[in-house]
Structure 1
Amino acid sequence: MKSSRLRRILARSLFLTAAILIVAAGTANAQPAGLMAKVVVIGVPGLTWDDVKASPELTALVNQSNVGSITVKTAGPHTCPVDGWLTISAGTRAWGSVSDQPCGDLPAVTDGKVAGWQTYVDRQAEHHTGAPIGRLGQTGYPICGFGPGAAIALARTDGSVTNWQPEADRARLASPACGDAIVDAGALPLGEGRAEARKKVADLVADARAAGGWVLLVGVSQELADSHQEPLVAMQLPPDNGSRWLTSDSTRRPGLIQLTDITATILKGRTAAEVDPAGAEKAGPLDGSEIRFTGPVHTDADAVIENRLDADQRFEQPRPVLIAVSMTILAAELLALAWFWFTRSPRSRRTFVFTLLSQGGFFIAAFLSTATVWWRWPTPGLSLYCVVLGISAILAAVSQLVLKRYAFLGITLVAYLILLVDGVLGTPLQFGSMFADGPVVGGRFYGFGNSTFATLAVAALVTAGWAAQKLIDKSRVQAALAVLVIGGAAIVVDGRPGWGTDFGGIIALTPAVLLMAWLTWRGSISLRALIGVSVAGALAVSAVAFLDYLRPPDQRSHFGTFVARLLDGDVGDVLIRKLDMAAHYFTGPAGWAMLVGVVLAMLATVLPERVPFPAYRTFYSSLPMIRPTLLALSACGLVGMLLNDAGVTVPAIMTGFSLPLLVAHLVASEQPATVSPESHLVQES
């Protein structure tokens, strides 16, 4: 009878967790007033904010425009002009160039058809992009095109082009026959002649404004195949009510749009008479959203340009500095380990533990560094390097001083709380940090990325294990409920659309939390119960995704978009691309090394008696909650590796965060073999 009651309590708790996930689904920001009748898109491959700064004519446009940066990442490894124009054609990321080859010239238009069009169609199938190139041209809406790039953007699905001219024509642009227009201004020269080319771009903007309508000046691609994927220029003229920042629901970031937003903006609000349903509507969902504006009015062009240049630094520096910081911490750990290995002195022990804790602190510093706005400091790269190392060292020192050998609890608790707050606030700390270079690689623009999720998962599960350990002697039910509350909060923040918006994350974290709660409650788990836990997790995730799908298409997050593709039968290419991304990590020795390390770490949680370290074996059985916590970490990492496009990097990051903290605890314990099962983590600390 008592067992049946306990089952009902836990069952209700599990359903409550799923209900919280479902109710937490939010709505996107409302769209502003509609666009003008005519939209003129002027695309300039390689147009940077340095060009705007260097050009008096382009600088003069800043205070007359809503401005921002545009990320031009497409489906391939780099964005040549053909990739950019094909992406505008499809409304989703397309692949046009050949890998490991320089960007070539754009194809010519011969007899009213883009030369070699079938090659580009085949390339989408070859790389499983799912990009319906020709979507924009197939709408039947009267869009005029000028220049070779515009021919690609406006070609129909068979490559044929109408209403197109090889060069811009001011009279034609102003003609009623042009409902909208796309103009290829040509790539800017890399050396001599660039200044003259910038002036011609400004003159082209003036011609487009004279034609009436809404002018959008954007960079559409990088200049070279191997150039850095920095965000390029985006300007919209004239502003509706004062010059502000461009944004869209696809990025949810003031001052940032992406290439696919151009297609969505052109097609947004067109009536059935204007858009051929057989063309655009059957091509599948758009990846972009309508471009709009937000934020306060800006009146200082120089300040705006500097802001954009600072933003470039914010997105450019984290990846190389991440490597530098990692190598610095690793070198410090190896030196400290050598000192401790040969001397075994108290000072060398503390130093080695400090370096291990610093590695744990790095997973917090990667986010907290964003609050220092380091990209506005002199020498941004060096500033970021010093800030991250400084915060990591401070967190390690304070935790070591206050909590002694249980300093790891301080690190994980701080990480848990900071990421919960960051998620609720819309991830301002993650954006542009070392763990989310979305604008550079075209990755996640909002919500938690894979690295952030891995950090949150470790922090949540370890914190839940600590809380349950405090309660387990009093009541296993209360301990299990503590796991559900702490883990459930992480699931909600990680998965709620508009907060973490992390579909893959909650798929991995939900069953791990449920498994940990069950082990806390019962002490062991049968195959039948394991299947039940897995089904419960899958149902909770599916419910959230389906409710997100019920929202309007332009308000859906990754959850609802995936369901839409699944129902449309368009999910095959998505899954293949994700598998390809996961498999890509095994093209070099680093991926295989990560896999070996991850597998060994997981085996240590399942077969502790095989681990050749007595301190670990004693630790494993010293407290009731250690085994459930370690098994939950392994389960989360395993599911994340198998069902996430980041593949082995998810458990590798989890291991990189949790393993140094575990080793720090074992090394800091003077006599780890004498820890009694009755000890409590809080009492020890």
Structure 2
Amino acid sequence: MKRMLPVLIALGAALIGMLSLLPQPSAEPVLDSAERVILVGAPGLRWDDVSPVETPTLWAFARKGSVGALTVRSGRSPTCPVDGWLTLGAGNYARGGPDPVDGVCPLTYPTLVRTDAGAKLDKSEHDAIVEDNKEHTAGVELGALSESARCTAAVGPGAAVAAARPFGRIDRYAPEAGPGMRELLDACVLSFVDLGTIDGEGTERIVAARQADAVLAAVLATRPERSLVIVAGLSDTGDASRLHVVVAQGPGFGPGWLSSPSTGREGYVRLIDLAPTALRALGRPVPGQLFVGAAANPSAGRPTDVDDAVGRLADADRLAGAQRRVSTLFFAGLTVAQLVLFVLVFLMLRRDTVDERVCWALTAAAVAVPAAMVTDIVPWWRASRPGLSFVLIFAAVLGLVTAATVRLTRGSGALGPLGGVTGAVAFAVGVDVLTGARLQLDGVTGYSALAGGRYTGIGTIGLGVFVGAVLFAAASVAQRVGRSWRPVVVAVIGTVAVVTVGSPHFGADAGGAVGFTAGVCVAAAMSSGGWLTGRRLSWAVVAASALTVAFALIDLNRPVDRRGSVGRFLAHIGDGTSGLVVNRNGASSVVTTLTSPLTLLVIGGVAFLWLAQVRAWGGLRRVFGLFPAVRGAFAGTVVASLLAGVVDGVGLNVLGAALAVVLPLTVLALLRVRIGTTPDRPIRERLPV
């Protein structure tokens, strides 16, 4: 019974963790229905274009409506005006027309041929767009939104593109706002209006915004009773992606934030959410197999002062733009720095010496990603030179964290820095995820709202850091207890972390939870000794598979727009489209692997570890022999990160993020095992750990 007790405790913790993953049912909001819906598009319109002086109509409209930041992802990057209109009409990631030239979007639309009351798109141009979408974006049906309504009307050439039915016909059409607008908007339950494109900079942009505001004033003056009007900046106009304007005002949509179940983040909406929002407002069924978004909802909490609300949305746009530029340079620099550091350690080990400065550098390398997370607390993106501002603040934070870590772990033994740093990092990331993941969205080490893929929960980098930190922190604790209790310690700590990652209320990453479960099983099995055998790996894969099936079956019973990645994949298996998903994820993994700097970090780190393991001067074998729980944590981190990267379609990024934290700490532990904590001593002069 004594020998079974640890096993029973571990199984009980795992069972409680799996039960905690059960999604809680959430009631659908009940909104007033509208008799008409008018979708008003202004490609390029951003929140920094909106002001009470230049756009008074839009400003007053925003005061009375629900506002949000719109991500304009389409079937092509960048999303040009024609792509935005096509995506709006399809309710799916669509594309069309000529490609951008030197990052500049073409501002033209397909040729229109007028008919008696409406119009139609030129057949050859429309057929070319249809074929282009079939080739690049499977599952898109152009004009799916219009097909869901008996009659549609369009004002302007861009609106005609969105209102066109699958065969290119627009029921009712007017080239511009003018006399007869009231009759046109009243004739159909669904209408589209083109305010014009907001492009350029300075005076040119201000003039375009004023003209769009004047057209909006004409639309609002002639809108039918009980109509819902949605104004959206449908696209970018160049290669720099931005967040855009979205405002909904009418039955069910009053002053507040505009949010969507597809983002799960208050105040954020995707372009693909507008089509289901329109149909739900009209009381029409949403074709779930064609629309990939979710109907947007109003939510409370918006500041009563519209100036404050608009300022927050404009600030979110500035942050999203700055994050993308800084994040790329940060990870490139981190990869180069760590690879250079591993070369220096390699040379030192060959020469039987250790420099204290290298130990400091290893500590700094290990805390670099967490320090970047802390830096995001400071609004560096508001500076006139955001990149330089981030570098200066990050350097200060990194220096303070490194100095504090070295001071607190001095003389603490070989596992002092490893256990202390990973424990602190796991705690910090866990608290952030449990409290809303504020440092994940548009953080330098987080995910970008502009990508349109994730808005809540834990991101790819955060997942890798969390997996590595949790498993190594658990291993450090497990080394301090008896051999038979080590698997229990790792299993219990790992289960809490798996729940944090997989719960739809916190980490919201079912794929990450699947990989993490396998990693925890491997780490727990190896913590008491031994290597990663085929049997242990098989048990880990079985456990992860069981969690996958259980979670997917539960997730499948949730509403379509609230399903996680595992539940959506099971649904694709049911409707026969799983092959497309597998191919898309596989292609995504390949592209990410080939383009991410973290891939180089993985290759370089694995090469260094192999040399340190097989060469007598390396000392890694001795570290793993002294601390079997650390060996288990390393194997578990690799298994969990690789599996999560495959499921989530992010290549080696999860593993790269994990190694960026745990690999420098492992090397530091190796040095401490070989020479103790005294620097500048020949390795052959062994000191007690």
Is TM more than 0.5 here? Answer: yes
Match in the other structure for 1:460: 470
Relative to structure 2, which stretch is displaced further, 52-61 or 446-455?
52-61
Secondary structure of 1:144's partner? strand
Match in the other structure for 2:418: 408
Q: Quick check: 1:311 aligned with 2:327?
A: no
Query: Letter of the aligned partner of 1:205 in structure 2?
Result: L
Q: CA deviation at 1:412?
A: 1.0
Secondary structure of 1:39's partner? strand
Q: CA deviation at 1:315?
A: 1.2
Match in the other structure for 1:143: 152
Partners of 1:93 and 1:129 within 8 A in 2: no
Match in the other structure for 1:550: 557
Match in the other structure for 1:656: 660
Q: Quick check: 1:623 aligned with 2:649?
A: no
Q: Distance in 1 between matches of 2:294 and 2:97?
A: 21
Q: CA deviation at 1:9?
A: 5.7
Distance 1:392 1:194, change over 3 A: closer
Distance 1:539 1:270, change over 3 A: farther
Alignment of 1:447-596 (within 5 A): 447-473=457-483, 476=484, 478-520=485-527, 523=530, 527-585=534-592, 593=600, 596=603
Choose the corresponding residue for 2:112, options 109, 113, 138: 109
Match in the other structure for 1:393: 399
Distance 1:177 1:612, change over 3 A: farther
Q: Distance in 1 between matches of 2:95 and 2:676?
A: 56
Q: Quick check: 1:118 aligned with 2:91?
A: no
Q: Distance in 2 between matches of 1:290 and 1:544?
A: 26
Secondary structure of 2:479's partner? helix
Q: Distance in 2 between matches of 1:629 and 1:40?
A: 56
Q: Quick check: 1:262 aligned with 2:262?
A: no
Distance 1:427 1:120, change over 3 A: same
Q: Distance in 2 between matches of 1:187 and 1:76?
A: 18
Relative to structure 2, which stretch is displaced further, 577-586 or 407-416?
577-586
Partners of 2:335 and 2:600 within 8 A in 1: no
Q: CA deviation at 1:121?
A: 2.7
Partners of 2:446 and 2:459 within 8 A in 1: yes
Distance 1:10 1:341, change over 3 A: closer
Query: Letter of the aligned partner of 1:566 in structure 2?
Result: I
Identity %: 26
Residue deviations 1:611-662, cap 9 Å, x none?
A: 5643223212122212211211221233234333111222222222221222
Partners of 2:149 and 2:189 within 8 A in 1: no
Q: Distance in 1 between matches of 2:34 and 2:503?
A: 34
Distance 1:331 1:449, change over 3 A: closer
Q: Quick check: 1:231 aligned with 2:243?
A: yes
Q: Distance in 2 between matches of 1:36 and 1:480?
A: 59
Match in the other structure for 1:21: 21
Match in the other structure for 1:245: 257
Residue deviations 1:500-524, cap 9 Å, x none?
A: 1112211211111112222235745
Residue deviations 1:206-244, cap 9 Å, x none?
A: 2222213222211001112x2x11101222336968633
Q: Distance in 1 between matches of 2:233 and 2:242?
A: 11
Q: CA deviation at 1:178?
A: 2.0
Query: Letter of the aligned partner of 2:547 in structure 1?
Result: A
Q: Distance in 2 between matches of 1:552 and 1:589?
A: 34
Q: CA deviation at 1:463?
A: 1.2
Query: Letter of the aligned partner of 1:43 in structure 2?
Result: G
| Paired positions, count | 659
Match in the other structure for 1:677: none
Q: Distance in 2 between matches of 1:74 and 1:646?
A: 20
Match in the other structure for 1:428: 438
Choose the corresponding residue for 2:142, options 114, 117, 133: 133
Match in the other structure for 1:288: 294
Q: CA deviation at 1:461?
A: 1.0
Residue deviations 1:290-310, cap 9 Å, x none?
A: 242331342252x34433332
Q: CA deviation at 1:490?
A: 1.3
Match in the other structure for 2:683: none
Q: Distance in 2 between matches of 1:343 and 1:520?
A: 27
Choose the corresponding residue for 1:639, options 643, 647, 655: 643
Match in the other structure for 1:71: 71
Query: Letter of the aligned partner of 1:51 in structure 2?
Result: D
Structure 2: gaps of 5 or more residues: 679-687
Query: Letter of the aligned partner of 2:637 in structure 1?
Result: L
Distance 1:339 1:122, change over 3 A: closer
Partners of 1:619 and 1:672 within 8 A in 2: no
Partners of 2:70 and 2:233 within 8 A in 1: yes
Match in the other structure for 2:95: 95
Q: CA deviation at 1:91?
A: 1.4
Partners of 2:612 and 2:619 within 8 A in 1: no
Relative to structure 2, which stretch is displaced further, 283-292 or 79-88?
283-292
Partners of 1:43 and 1:185 within 8 A in 2: yes
Match in the other structure for 1:179: 189
- Superposition TM-score, scaled by structure 2 size: 0.86
Residue deviations 1:2-27, cap 9 Å, x none?
A: 777776665555444333333xx234
Q: Distance in 2 between matches of 1:27 and 1:391?
A: 42
Query: Letter of the aligned partner of 1:617 in structure 2?
Result: R
Q: Distance in 2 between matches of 1:589 and 1:181?
A: 43
Residue deviations 1:280-334, cap 9 Å, x none?
A: 6374453233242331342252x34433332222112223333554566678775
Distance 1:415 1:595, change over 3 A: closer
Query: Letter of the aligned partner of 1:72 in structure 2?
Result: V
Choose the corresponding residue for 1:163, options 172, 175, 189: 172
Relative to structure 2, which stretch is displaced further, 445-454 or 648-657?
648-657
Query: Letter of the aligned partner of 1:106 in structure 2?
Result: Y
Residue deviations 1:65-115, cap 9 Å, x none?
A: 432221112232210112111211221222335556453321123364433
Secondary structure of 2:265's partner? coil
Secondary structure of 1:42's partner? strand
Residue deviations 1:325-369, cap 9 Å, x none?
A: 456667877599879979999998333222222222222123223
Q: CA deviation at 1:416?
A: 0.7
Match in the other structure for 1:680: none
Residue deviations 1:506-552, cap 9 Å, x none?
A: 12111111122222357456544532331221111221222122122
Distance 1:669 1:592, change over 3 A: closer
Partners of 1:594 and 1:648 within 8 A in 2: no
Q: Distance in 1 between matches of 2:155 and 2:458?
A: 40
Pairwise CA RMSD of aligned residues? 3.5
- Superposition TM-score, scaled by structure 1 size: 0.86
Relative to structure 2, which stretch is displaced further, 233-242 or 176-185?
233-242
Match in the other structure for 1:681: none
Q: Quick check: 1:49 aligned with 2:43?
A: no
Residue deviations 1:578-619, cap 9 Å, x none?
A: 211111135569587456336536x73xx9742564322321
Residue deviations 1:544-588, cap 9 Å, x none?
A: 222122122343343433333332223332222221111113556
Query: Letter of the aligned partner of 2:231 in structure 1?
Result: L
Secondary structure of 1:289's partner? coil
Distance 1:544 1:569, change over 3 A: same
Partners of 1:504 and 1:644 within 8 A in 2: yes
Q: Distance in 1 between matches of 2:83 and 2:235?
A: 7
Secondary structure of 1:620's partner? helix
Q: Distance in 2 between matches of 1:530 and 1:337?
A: 32
Q: CA deviation at 1:480?
A: 1.1
